[in-house]
Amino acid sequence: MCWPWPATINASLFGVNKGARIQLVSLEGTACPLNNGTLHYFGADNRSREAPFKCQGGRISFELPGETLFALRWSAS
């Protein structure tokens, strides 16, 4: 029996900056632009907000404020 694979796979990456200073996050190995890519921050103020990111040459990068969680989501086909 052959299982049908979905045409689109939803991917997510979560992380945290435990320090007080801004950190530059850089991830390599993806196709740019990200399909339906979103980046959300969850800060010490308990609020979620959308944040900007760059995707160039197979590398995603963004600045992550101190004491902040992030969720990067996109669709891969």
Domain segments of the chain as ranges: 9-73
Task: Give the 3-state secondary structure of residue 16.
Answer: strand
Average pLDDT over residues 39-51: 93
Architecture of the domain delimited by 9-73: Sandwich (2.60)
State the pTM of this model: 0.83
Q: How far apart are CA 15 and CA 6, in angstroms?
A: 26
- What pLDDT, on a 0 to 100 scale, did the predictor assign at position 65? 95
- What pLDDT, on a 0 to 100 scale, did the predictor assign at position 2? 57
- What pLDDT, on a 0 to 100 scale, did the predictor assign at position 11? 87
**DSSP assigned state of 19:** S
pLDDT at residue 76 tops 80: no
Q: How far apart are CA 5 and CA 14, in angstroms?
A: 24
**DSSP assigned state of 49:** E
